[in-house]
């Protein structure tokens, strides 16, 4: 509760406040104009300066007499500012009657530059005639420095991003070249046979671990292999490289398929044993064409790899009414596809002693052998793990192409892979080896 | 490049009277075809009016920008000729503002059958002072201008606003600041600025063989009156009209006298 009567303390404070207000009231409009913390400027419509406050004169380092009636507003600007004034500022002001917050540079008396923010408005007469332009000028040195810093950072960020993208492109290019080096540039021509291959890379960022090759063993026989190294990236690629060279060298030494895989097993196990085990699955085989019959004997062995598919043409041209090698994907002409079972073979490189399963078959004219990696059979065709494409679906699909050339088959499978879209997230290698149908043989 | 590509590249618009004489209106540095919005209505009744944006300005196709092509005024002149060819224009009156006046001179030299007359609005064949010649700017002035452009001073260009703010999801912020008037790509504007302000086309003026109107303003900080007089003297048989206008853009600051001078010149042509 306040005591009645005067409080000497409070009275002093009140008087001081009154004095401060009085000082404010004595600050005339003229003083407010001249000493304002921003620049004021009034010009005629042609830009001639009619009035300017002391603050702005002080910033510019100019005398009033040298400015009023003698200079136009653009004369205060830098060359860039003049051009901007002529092409943007003045037209916009004319169009809109006002313009605000435009960043310009004033040229001061010493030839230096003063960054400012300028706002202008046109004063009109009662009849709507434009009379003069009122302009306020704010010192924008700090703001300009801040904006420049923002711009500098933004440029640095853009440059860093550009560099990162270039690095990434270079890396992808290097990896694509490396990937290509892991695959044969072209398959060798095998008399009486046709070959086709396809490699699908799941991601340009990652080196795939699938591999295949076909090469002559002697003047009669050819060897082939196809496999899948566990893992991805440069380390998997190194295993792929070692695997290819080992298999080719092993085949020269002993072309028996199980023996070649055993050699590979020993090399991988010794090389990658211990802390960083690396292993692969593969099918290695030998083709032995019989020029007398036109048939091709196949011996192969598998180390934990999905079973090869044997495509039987089912009949030969001249056997029935629906003749022709391209009777189409419907399989109505009796073409079929069966797995060449190689159950239970070991993964290669995981155990010091491994057992590999061998199998053999004979391909007649029009028949073919298809090797593939699990990228195709494990492609997702819906949501969840239960909806992978699967080996049976693959078998049924290729059966439709059993009586056609192998490049048609591989082309169809490539289309199938493309159709999986996002569902195909692994690399996939395909290798098809077909015996030419009699009609495909030259001068048959 | 097909005709359609060229018309898209330069955002060509054709308006006015299809049976009238064709007038091509060419904007100057830092602007776009909006510069002519007060001119078009005065011409449209009796003339076919062709407007376009130089590559890098307005709604031109930025992907068509080639720094080496536009490093000389010839590159811009070739664009003008290509636009005329794409529309199969002949004997057009080419109205060029500022640096475009000189581009028109070069285009008329490249394709005399296409360009039959010139209107040079606030022209300058050389901005930098030289011995016995006053262009209005010292070499240091122009260096400062180019430097301010190169360092992307905000002071120079409101087009900087979207560059700094980088607000593609809110383009209206940039638009508000640039007022969507005379939009210019800052990087391309730098090339155009260098080409424009370092150019010296004085020797090209005497080669003009078509009727020419030179329009100058009484007070123009970019192209002072000495320059207008120089151009008038150098172009054989040219007519000089001094507009009672301030600034470098009489078509905006004094549209009526500007339009009158242009239409009178056009009706004097056979």
Q: What is the pLDDT of residue A12?
A: 66
Task: Please report whether residue B182 resides in a domain.
Answer: no
The answer as to whether B133 is a domain residue is no
Contact A105, A81 (CB under 8 A): yes
Task: Give me the residue from A83, A86, A151 closest to B152, CB to CB.
Answer: A151
Please tell me whether residue A337 adopts helix, strand or coil conformation. Answer: strand
* Predicted local distance difference test score (pLDDT) of residue A384: 63
Closest CA to A211 of A223, A196, A227: A227
- Give the ipTM: 0.73
Pick from A349-358, A377-386, B166-175, B216-225: least confident: B166-175
Q: Which among B153, B154, B253 is the nearest to A90, CB-wise? A: B253
Q: At what angle do helices B186-197 and B139-150 cross, to 10 degrees?
A: 170
What local confidence, expressed as pLDDT, does residue A155 receive?
A: 83
- Model confidence over A91-138: pLDDT tens digits? 778 777 888 888 888 988 777 888 888 999 999 999 989 999 999 999
Question: Of B259, B201, B190, which Cα lies nearest the Cα of B77?
Answer: B201
Please give the mean pLDDT across all residues of chain A: 85
Q: How confident is the model at residue B206 (pLDDT cuts 50, 70, 90)?
A: very high
Residue A391, class by beta-carbon neighbours within 10 Å (0-12 exposed, 13-18 middle, 19+ buried)? Answer: middle
Indicate yes or no: CB of B221 within 8 angstroms of CB of A75: yes
**Residue B11 confidence (pLDDT) above 60:** yes
Q: What is the pLDDT of residue A439?
A: 60
pLDDT, residue A334, reads 65
- Tell me the per-residue pLDDT of A279-292, one tens digit each, with 9 for 90 and over: 899 999 999 999 88
With respect to residue B19, please indicate whether it lies within any of the assigned structural domains. yes
CA distance linking residue A395 with residue A414, whole number of Å:
15
B248:A88 CB<8 A? no
Spell out the SS3 assignment of A280-327: EEEEEEEEEEECCCCEEEEEEEEECCCCEEEEECCCCCCCCCCCCCCC
The answer to whether the CB of A233 falls within 8 A of the CB of A204 is no
Indicate the number of domains in chain B: 1
The rounded distance, in Å, linking the Cα atoms of B179 and A382 is 52
The Cα of A215 is separated from the nearest Cα of chain B by a number of Å equal to 50
The shortest CB-CB distance from A86 to any of B148, B160, B222 is to B222
Residue of A nearest to B151 (CA): A148
pLDDT tens by residue, B152-201 = 443 344 433 433 333 334 444 334 334 445 566 777 878 888 899 999 99
Residue B79, burial from CB neighbour count under 10 angstroms (0-12, 13-18, 19+): buried
Instruction: Choose from B155, B159, B189 for mutation: most chain A CBs within 10 A.
Output: B155
Q: Are A211 and A430 in contact (CB under 8 A)?
A: no
If you average pLDDT over residues A239-256, what whole number do you get? 91
**For chain B, percent helix, then strand, then coil, each to nearest 5?**
45, 20, 35
Query: Which of the pair, B39 or B174, is modelled with greater confidence?
Result: B39
Q: Which residues of B are catalytic?
A: 98, 220, 248
String of DSSP letters for A54-78: HHHHHHHT--HHHHTTT-BGGGGB-
**SS3 annotation, B90-131:** CCEEEEEECHHHHHHHHHHHHCCCCEEEEEEECCCCECECEC
Residues 6+ apart with CB under 8 A from B222: A82, A83, A86, B98, B122, B124, B127, B136, B248
Cα of first residue to Cα of last residue in chain B, in angstroms, is 34
Instruction: Evaluate if residue A353 carries a pLDDT over 80.
Output: yes
> The tokens of A350 are what?
């995981």
CA-CA distance, B232 to B205, in Å (whole number)?
9
Q: Could you tell me which chain B residue has the CA closest to the CA of A93?
A: B253
User: Which secondary structure element, helix H or strand E, spans residue B159, and what is its range?
Assistant: none
The answer to whether residue A122 neighbours chain B at the CB level (below 8 Å) is no
**A74 CB within 8 Å of a chain B CB:** yes
Query: Residue B141 to residues A79, B145, B198: CA-CA distances in angstroms?
Result: 6, 6, 11
Distances (CA, A) of A110 to A39, A114, A408, B38, B228: 18, 11, 82, 40, 31
Positions of E strands within A292-427: 295-303, 308-312, 336-340, 357-363, 368-372
The answer on pLDDT for A3 being more than 60 is no
Determine the pLDDT at residue B17.
Answer: 95
Residues A33-67: tens digit of each pLDDT = 999 999 999 999 889 999 999 999 999 999 999 99
User: Pairing state of beta strands A368-372 and A308-312?
Assistant: antiparallel
Is the pLDDT confidence value at B116 over 70? Answer: yes
Nearest CA to B191 out of B59, B62, B24 is that of B62
Of A79, A94, A105, the CB nearest to B137: A79
**Closest-CA distance of chain B to residue A71, Å:** 12
pLDDT at A13: 67
Set out the domains of chain A in order of their start, with CATH numbers. Answer: 13-139 (3.30.450.20), 183-440 (3.60.40.10)
| pTM of the predicted protein model | 0.58
Considering only alpha carbons, which residue of chain B is nearest residue A79? B145
Q: Which residue of A has its CA nearest to B248?
A: A86
- The whole-number pLDDT of residue A141 equals 87
Of the listed ranges A142-151, A297-306, B19-28, B253-262, the least confidently predicted one is A142-151
CB contact under 8 A, B148 and A94: no
pLDDT on residue A330:
44
Residues of B in contact with A82 (CB under 8 A): 221-222
- When comparing pLDDT for A332 and A62, which is higher? A62
Residue A251 DSSP SS3: helix
Listed range (A173-182, A321-330, A423-432, B178-187) with the worst mean pLDDT: A321-330
Considering the domain boundaries, does residue B158 fall inside one?
no
> What's the pLDDT score for residue A150?
78
pLDDT reported for residue B150: 63
Identify the closest residue of chain A to B127 by CA–CA distance.
A79
pLDDT at B129: 94
Contact: B252, A80; criterion CB under 8 Å? no
Coil, strand, or helix at residue B219?
A: strand
Scanning B60-201, the segments in alpha helix (DSSP H) are 73-86, 99-110, 139-150, 160-165, 171-178, 186-197
Q: What percent of chain B has pLDDT over 70?
A: 86
Neighbours of A207 (CB within 10 A): 24
Residue A29 has pLDDT above 90, yes or no: no
Residue A309: count of CB within 10 angstroms of its CB: 23
Q: Give how far A21 is from chain B: nearest CA, Å.
A: 39
Question: Which domain does B261 fall in, by range?
Answer: 3-125+199-268
Q: Identify whether B156 is part of a domain.
A: no
Beta-bridge partners for A281: A228
Q: Is residue B189 part of a domain?
A: no
Task: State mean pLDDT over B71-92.
Answer: 95
Residues of B in contact with A90 (CB under 8 A): 247, 249, 252-253
* Residue of chain A minimizing CA distance to B139: A79
In 3D space, the residue among B97, B120, B11 whose CA is nearest the CA of residue B61 turns out to be: B11
User: Quick one: CA torsion of B140, B141, B145, B147, rounded to 10 degrees?
Assistant: 20
pLDDT band at B58 (very low <50, low <70, confident <90, very high): confident
Would you say residue B55 lies in a domain?
yes
CB-CB neighbors (< 8 A) of A111 in chain B: none
Q: How many residues does chain A have?
A: 444
The distance of B57 to chain A (nearest Cα, Å) reads: 13
Looking at CA atoms only, how far is residue B261 from chain A in angstroms? 20
Tokens representing residue A311 in the block: 């495509």
The predicted structure's pLDDT at residue A97? 85
Beta bridge partners of B212: B118
- Considering only the beta carbons, identify the residue of B145, B155, B253 that sits closest to A103: B155
Q: How many residues does chain B have?
A: 270
Residue B145 domain flag: no
Place of tokens 């992307």: B152
Show contacts of A108-116: CB within 8 Å, 24+ apart. A108/A59, A108/A60, A108/A61, A109/A60, A109/A61, A109/A62, A110/A61, A113/A78, A114/A59, A114/A60, A114/A139, A114/A141, A115/A139, A115/A140, A115/A141, A115/A143, A115/A144, A115/B154, A115/B155, A116/A39, A116/A140
Nearest-CB residue to B253 (from A78, A94, A105): A94
CATH code where residue B217 lies: 3.40.50.1820
Report the alpha-carbon distance of residue A311 to residue B248 in Å, rounded.
Answer: 83
């Amino acid at each position: 509760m306040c005591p009645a009567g005067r409080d000497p303390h409070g009275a002093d404070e009140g008087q001081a406040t009154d004095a401060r207000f009085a000082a404010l009231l004595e600050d005339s409009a003229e003083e407010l104009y001249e000493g304002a913390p921003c620049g004021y400027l009034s010009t005629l419509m042609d830009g001639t300066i009619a009035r300017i406050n002391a603050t702005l004169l002080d910033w510019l380092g100019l005398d009033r007499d040298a400015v009023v009636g003698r200079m136009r507003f653009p004369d205060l600007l830098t060359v860039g500012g003049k051009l901007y004034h002529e092409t943007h500022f003045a037209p916009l002001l004319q169009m809109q009657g006002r313009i605000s917050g435009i960043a310009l540079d004033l040229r001061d008396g010493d030839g230096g530059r003063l960054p400012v923010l300028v706002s202008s408005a046109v004063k009109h007469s009662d009849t709507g005639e434009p009379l003069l332009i009122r302009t306020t000028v704010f010192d924008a040195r700090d703001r300009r420095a801040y904006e420049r810093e923002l711009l500098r950072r933004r440029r640095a960020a853009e440059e860093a991003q550009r560099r990162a993208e270039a690095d990434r492109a270079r890396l992808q290019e290097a990896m694509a070249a490396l990937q290509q080096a892991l695959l044969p540039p072209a398959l060798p021509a095998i008399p009486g046979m046709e070959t086709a291959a396809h490699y699908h890379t799941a991601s340009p960022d990652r080196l795939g671990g699938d591999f295949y090759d076909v090469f002559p063993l002697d003047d009669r026989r050819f060897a082939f292999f196809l496999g899948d190294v566990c893992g991805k990236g440069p380390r998997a690629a190194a295993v792929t490289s070692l695997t290819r060279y080992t298999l080719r060298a092993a085949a020269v030494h002993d072309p028996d398929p199980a023996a070649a895989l055993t050699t590979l097993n020993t090399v991988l196990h010794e090389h990658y044993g211990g802390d960083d085990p690396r292993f692969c699955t593969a099918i290695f085989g030998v083709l032995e064409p019989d020029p007398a019959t036109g048939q091709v004997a196949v011996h192969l062995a598998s180390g934990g790899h999905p079973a090869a598919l044997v495509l039987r043409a089912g009949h030969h041209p001249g056997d029935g009414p629906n003749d022709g090698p391209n009777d189409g994907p419907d399989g109505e002409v009796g073409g079929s596809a069966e797995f060449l079972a190689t159950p239970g073979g070991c993964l290669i490189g995981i155990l010091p002693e491994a057992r590999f399963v061998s199998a053999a078959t004979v391909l007649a004219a029009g028949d073919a052998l298809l090797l593939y990696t699990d990228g195709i059979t494990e492609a997702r065709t819906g949501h969840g793990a239960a909806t992978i494409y699967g080996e049976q679906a693959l078998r049924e699909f290729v059966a439709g192409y059993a009586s056609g050339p192998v490049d048609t088959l591989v082309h169809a499978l490539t289309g199938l892979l493309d159709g999986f879209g996002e569902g195909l997230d692994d690399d996939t290698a395909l290798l098809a080896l077909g015996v030419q149908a009699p009609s495909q043989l030259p001068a048959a | 490049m097909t005709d359609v590509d060229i018309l898209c590249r330069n955002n060509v618009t054709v308006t006015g009277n299809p049976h009238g004489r064709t007038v091509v209106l060419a904007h100057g540095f830092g602007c776009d075809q909006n510069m002519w919005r007060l001119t078009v209505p005065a011409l449209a009744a009796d003339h076919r009016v062709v407007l376009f944006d130089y590559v890098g300005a307005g709604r031109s196709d930025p992907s068509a920008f080639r720094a080496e092509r536009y490093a000389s005024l010839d590159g811009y002149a070739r664009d003008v000729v290509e636009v005329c060819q794409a529309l199969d224009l002949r004997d057009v009156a080419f109205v060029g503002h500022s640096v475009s006046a000189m581009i028109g001179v070069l285009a008329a030299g490249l394709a005399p059958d296409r360009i039959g007359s010139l209107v040079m609005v606030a022209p300058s064949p050389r901005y930098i002072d030289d011995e016995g010649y006053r262009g209005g700017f010292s070499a240091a002035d122009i260096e400062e201008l180019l430097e301010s452009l190169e360092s992307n001073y905000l002071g120079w260009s409101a087009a900087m606003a979207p560059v700094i703010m980088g607000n593609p999801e809110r383009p209206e912020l940039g638009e508000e600041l640039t007022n969507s008037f005379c939009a210019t790509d800052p990087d391309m504007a730098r090339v155009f600025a260098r080409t424009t302000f370092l150019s010296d086309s004085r020797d090209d003026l005497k080669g003009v063989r078509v009727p020419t109107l030179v329009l100058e303003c009484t007070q123009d900080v970019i192209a002072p009156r000495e320059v207008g007089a120089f151009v008038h003297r150098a172009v054989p048989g040219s007519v000089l009209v001094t507009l009672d206008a301030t600034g470098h853009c009489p078509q905006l600051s004094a549209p009526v006298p500007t339009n009158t001078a242009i239409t009178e010149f056009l009706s004097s042509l056979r």
